[in-house]
Amino acid sequence: MPQLERLWNEFKDKGLHIFHVESQGTSEDDLKKFCRAKGMTFPQVMGQGSFSGYEGGSGIPYAFVIGADGKVIWQGREGYHAVITEEMAKVRFPGLGKGSVAKGLEKAAATFAQKNYGKAMADAQKKLEAEKGKSSADAAVVADAEHIIARATAVGERLQKKAENAKAEREYAIAMATYKILEDGFKGQPFGDNAATALDAMKADKEISKEVKALQQLDAMLAQLEKAAADEKKKNLKAFAEKFKGLKAAEKADQMAANL
């Protein structure tokens, strides 16, 4: 599994999607614990129902790789790493949901791929309006411009939801990092402006600063204890939880100690 985690970290922002389907009926809680313990951060799907048509048949592990052209390029048990690494070079616009766009929209698509969503939306909107102003609009240009706008909007909505959920769960570091991505990616757009306001408010909040500092201290402590024995880790985590009682970092430390 460390190999797959490495593959994920290398390509997750470059157009790789992983759907890891646990097929032994493991409960969601147990799967979460397993992922935490093994440091697996790629998406885990429960059950097989969502993937009818992709029957593994002769047991697990079994995998399918879909290429940038939408065709299945590999299936089997082991050996997908090299196939994926090679195929990644063919991804032109990561995350756009389209491998090619109509003429005149390549720049907007490339801007999207660089995570400059606000500019991609503005460029696509400009092209869309120009095209619609013509006596015979090119349907492909209209469709692809609308696709870029819709896709960027979906990214904004997803990131906004992620930031809000993280904030509600007191995962402030994640919330702030996500608001920053929104602010940078949607400059001059409502998503970006709202994120900037939310981020400023979080920075000014003393309670949040306290929580963030405690989480940073926990991370630093965990890094120091990386090679320590489980008993030593447990002792330190419990002491940390006591010292920072009531904060999210203490809850996390408690949970980690219980999992050891």
Partner 1 sequence: MRRLGATVLSAAFLFAAPVLMAQADLKGKDAPDFKVGSTINEAQALSLDECRGDVVLIKYWGVN
Binding residues (CB under 8 A) for partner 1: these are 4, 11-12, 15-24, 26, 28, 30-32, 34-35, 40-46, 48, 50-58, 60-68, 70-75, 80, 84, 87-88, 90-100, 158, 162
Q: Whose Cβ is closer to partner 1: residue 36's or residue 245's?
A: 36
Q: Whose Cβ is closer to partner 1: residue 36's or residue 203's?
A: 36
Q: Which residue has the tokens 């696709």?
A: 147
The residues near 253 (Cβ < 8 Å, ≥ 6 apart) are: 218, 237, 238, 240, 241, 244
CB contact at 8 A, 70 and 90 = no
Q: Whose Cβ is closer to partner 1: residue 75's or residue 224's?
A: 75
What's the rounded Cα separation, in Å, for the pair 251 and 253? 6
Count of CB atoms situated within 10 Å of the CB of 52: 7
Minimal distance, residue 24 CB to partner 1, in Å: 4
What's the rounded Cα separation, in Å, for the pair 120 and 132? 18
Q: Whose Cβ is closer to partner 1: residue 48's or residue 209's?
A: 48
Minimal distance, residue 108 CB to partner 1, in Å: 14
Minimal distance, residue 198 CB to partner 1, in Å: 19
Instruction: Mark out the alpha helices in 205-229 (DSSP H runs).
Output: 206-224
Q: Whose Cβ is closer to partner 1: residue 21's or residue 120's?
A: 21
Minimal distance, residue 18 CB to partner 1, in Å: 5
